[in-house]
Amino acid sequence: PTARGSAKRTRASPHQGRIVAIAWIQTRRFAIERSIRTMVRVYLDLERSGEALGRMVFDLFEEACPQICENVRALCTGEKGNHPSTGNMLTYQGKIVDRNVPGKVMEIGSFENTWNGNESVFGEPFHVSPGERKHNTSGLLSTVPDEQGRCGSRFAVTLGKCEDRDGTCSVFGTIVRGYGVLREIESFPTNADGCPTPQVDIASCGELEPSDFGLVPDQHGDPYSTWPQDHPNMSSQHFANRLAAAAFIKQLGNAFYAEKRYEDALKKYGKAMRYLEKNFFGTAEYISQETEEKRIQAESRIPVLLNIAACNLCLGRNGAAVQACNGAQRIMIDAKDARIKPEWRLKLLRRRADGYIGCREFESAVRDLGMCLKINPDSARDHNALERAKKLLRSKKEAEKNAFQTAFAGGQIF
């Protein structure tokens, strides 16, 4: 073909030196590699205070922004070793989320002892021309130029429309997994500089095959992503898949509870609740299907909330236990078609009563335990618990009475 033949003639021309020939070979090699590798996919594993938050996976637009994409890719793999001038290890591992501006951007990738935090596997930061892609949605990767307009390791992930970045920054990638992780980090409190507190660390990072979404079971054998929207076939419309996943995750929580690992159990129960979320259309077309799904959803969520209450009681978080029980009660009231088991009502009332006692709200505990006896009049357990709650209530009132009399002793009013 003509193009290849003309290239060969150029290489063999007596007017070209050896340097030109080598440059031509390198250009052809990079072109071939880029045509084979149609997409670059990288990931960051994030944690906070030693607790894993999850994985964010990004696709990089290498054709549009080859230099910045190669820099970010190499910093994810850590393949370049140490920088010859700064001495920095050229990897994102161990770095933190630098800045979080809710609704705008989250910035990552600042290095110490560098040009305004921008590190480069090419030696020094480099210029990247603003592209035509607009910052018109969340989850886009955008360059963070320094004062001289040069780019490097620092980049931003948009948390919404960022039209002010158009024309000055370049979009070079997008998030494909870990959107829930992104939103969770967005909700964290920040210090005066906008850095999340406690800080969010990059525990590990790397490159993936274009077909690999980086889904790996956790150390407990849980194959499901932290957030359902990051897992294949787990959209709100794949409700049957979500139900199966939630049941599996709940069982892991139950196993932790049996081992008295209450914090781990709470994490699994919270994750199961996320998988049980569902957006309903409420239209006549789907009314029959959605009525059944609402019933199943309610019957699945109630026991999880009651388990959350049990964990919080074991951890001494009485207010959180009461809150979980109140959530279960609201579902019982709203889900009219759900088949509510009597044992669920008893667990709700007993656990909420224990939470009220821990919060010194003895009157509320007496009320709930009295309702338990209406459901199960022969329960010696509930009789004893009720008498204990009444005794605590009498003691509280007596203490309040004595305190009042002491405060106003001698007729002095302040």
pLDDT at 413: 52
Q: Give the residue among 315, 358, 309, 311 at the shortest CA–CA distance from 329.
A: 309
Question: Which residues have CB under 8 Å from 87's CB, separation 6+?
Answer: 113
Is residue 181 over pLDDT 80?
Answer: yes
Please, which pLDDT band fits residue 4 given cuts at 50, 70 and 90? Answer: very low
Is residue 11 over pLDDT 70?
Answer: no
227 φ, ψ (degrees, to nearest 5): -120, 130
Give the pTM: 0.70
CB 202 within 8 A of CB 48: no
pLDDT at 1: 36
pLDDT at 211: 84
Is residue 100 over pLDDT 80?
Answer: yes
Question: Which residues have CB under 8 Å from 155's CB, separation 6+?
Answer: 68, 72, 107, 108, 109, 141, 142, 143, 144, 172
Average pLDDT of every residue of the chain? 86
CB 381 within 8 A of CB 372: no
pLDDT at 87: 84
Higher per-residue pLDDT: 300 or 148: 300
- The Cα 157–Cα 107 span in angstroms is 6
